[in-house]
Structure 1
């Protein structure tokens, strides 16, 4: 027997509204500072790797602890602003990614629950079609298109494809 109702925690209208408002507020706060890069620009500017982040961190460490050793050609206020923004953005991305992962996991469970219920409904419809109950033969024939090579007999495996 397949697992059913793996996720029976649902969002009510108030929660959906609150999430929508929070997303609207987040978009309003972030959008003015977001920049679109072309594929060429993304390739050109890229992302500094871990080794290069160590160079940035060491330059900042020297500037903060031994400023006499810092280049006068660097705008250190801008350097610090860039650094602080990068740390803030990375922290925000990490938090958002955690939320995305959780939402994706919840969606997977809801999808699985829906799929299992649909398979149960299809099996019931097959039974009712076999008893010649009006309407079920049409329903089975319409749903059978989603079960390749099985016609109207047995549905595919108990796991959705995506």
Structure 2
């Protein structure tokens, strides 16, 4: 017997609305700061790899510990702002990715539950068709189209009736 109802945790209308309101607020909060990159820009600017992150952090460390050794031609306040923004965004990404993974996991459980109910309903409909109950032939035929490996129940039932 299949395991069903893997997730009995359902959201109330108020919880759904609160979540969506929070998402709206987050999107509005950052909208003016975000830029959409074209595929060409994404390729051109890319993402710095781990080795280059270590390099950037080492420059930051030198700025903090030995400012006299740093170039006077660099806007160090802007550099620090970029570092702070980068750290903030990296933290936000990690938290959002964690939240997204949890949401996806729970959606999988609800998808599974829905599919198990649909299979049970299909089996019930085939049973009712076998008892010659009215209205189930069309339903079973329409549901059977999702199972391409098996013949429709009506065709099988007709074959059995003629034998």
Q: Which runs of 5+ in 1 are unaligned?
A: 154-162
Partner residue, 2:159:
none
User: Which structure 2 residues correspond to residues 4-19 of structure 1 after superposition, within 5 A?
Assistant: 4-19=4-19
Report if aligned partners of 1:126, 1:152 keep a CA contact under 8 Å in 2: no
Partner residue, 2:72:
72
Alpha-carbon distance, 1:10 to partner:
0.4
The CA deviation string for residues 80-135 of structure 1, in whole angstroms up to 9 with x for no partner, is: 00000000000000000001000000000000000011000000000001111111
Query: What TM-score do you get using the length of structure 1 for normalisation?
Result: 0.93
Report if aligned partners of 1:122, 1:143 keep a CA contact under 8 Å in 2: yes
Equivalent-residue separation in structure 2 for 1:11 and 1:151 (angstroms): 39
User: Which structure 2 residues correspond to residues 1-162 of structure 1 after superposition, within 5 A?
Assistant: 1-152=1-152
Equivalent-residue separation in structure 2 for 1:66 and 1:151 (angstroms): 78
Question: Which is worse superposed, 130-139 or 86-95?
Answer: 130-139
Name the SS of the counterpart of 1:146 in structure 2: coil
Runs of 4 or more off by more than 3 Å in structure 1? none
Q: More helix per residue: 1 or 2? A: 2
Query: What TM-score do you get using the length of structure 2 for normalisation?
Result: 0.92
* C-alpha RMSD of the superposition: 0.8
Alpha-carbon distance, 1:73 to partner:
1.3
Q: Which runs of 5+ in 2 are unaligned?
A: 154-163
Aligned length: 153
Equivalent-residue separation in structure 1 for 2:38 and 2:16 (angstroms): 34
Equivalent-residue separation in structure 2 for 1:117 and 1:48 (angstroms): 47
Equivalent-residue separation in structure 2 for 1:30 and 1:118 (angstroms): 41
Equivalent-residue separation in structure 1 for 2:46 and 2:146 (angstroms): 43
